[in-house]
Amino acid sequence: MTSPDTEVLLIDSAMPRYDAVIAEHLVVAADPATTFAAACAIDLLTVHSPLFDLAMWLRVLPARLSGKTGPPLPHLVIGADMGLPGWTFLGRQAEREIAFGAVGKFWKPTIEWRDVAAADFTSFDEPGWGKIAANFSVRPYGAASTLLTYECRTVTTDPESRRRFLRYWRLVRPFVGHVLRATLRQIQDNATAASIPGRSANESVE
């Protein structure tokens, strides 16, 4: 049997090599099954903090000014139909990992997205593009808690795109880290609430 420490994650298969990576971790006071269910069910549009909201507002500002934004999404849950241009569901390992990815030119003021099927994601190498692979993963931590991880990797398809992306990455990395941490805290709240008898998973835990 493969141990959790040696098993290959979906994100490893989707993007074994990358130009940049960031990962955040959080110990959740809930069992792995409950925590994983909360990660799979998280509506990413429910994640908020003052810095997070400001960063998201600034990121979409160029598209708003150019009139290229579509109607707002009612919700955003990771799954087979994410409802976002360029984003694709990469798979799920039961009670272990859920992975998703995107192809785009995200270093541009107005991001240009490219729809690529999940089956073609790993091999896609058309010059001029970047690829993001991200996942939530869980593993047992102590007797009754869970180590929850949110990892995000990026690779580009040619040297010029890599140069542009890394220049952009130096600026946005702190904000990306904040987004990852805010998301983990929301999953933690949802998982902790779900583990308390009689409490709704949508209720925040103080």
Residue 67's pLDDT is 52
Looking at the chain, the whole-number percentage of residues with pLDDT higher than 70 is 80
Q: What's the CA gap between 171 and 49, in Å, rounded?
A: 20
pLDDT in tens, 119-130: 999 999 999 999
Nearest one of 96, 153, 156, 154 to 125, comparing CA atoms: 156
Mean pLDDT value across residues 125-151: 97
pLDDT in tens, 51-106: 555 555 445 434 444 455 555 666 789 998 888 889 999 999 999 999 999 999 99
Residue 52's pLDDT is 53
Helices and strands per DSSP (H, E), number in the chain: 5, 6
- Fold assignment, 19-64+75-194: Alpha-D-Glucose-1,6-Bisphosphate; Chain A, domain 4 (3.30.530)
Cα–Cα–Cα angle for 18, 131, 87, nearest 5°?
140
Q: Do residues 150 and 178 lie in contact, with contact meaning Cβ atoms separated by under 8 Å?
A: no
- What residues does each domain of the chain span? 19-64+75-194
Average pLDDT, the chain: 86
Q: Do residues 110 and 73 lie in contact, with contact meaning Cβ atoms separated by under 8 Å?
A: no
Nearest one of 40, 70, 67, 45 to 56, comparing CA atoms: 45
Residue position matching structure tokens 């007797």: 143
Q: How confident is the model at residue 15 (pLDDT cuts 50, 70, 90)?
A: very high
- The pTM assigned to this predicted structure is 0.85
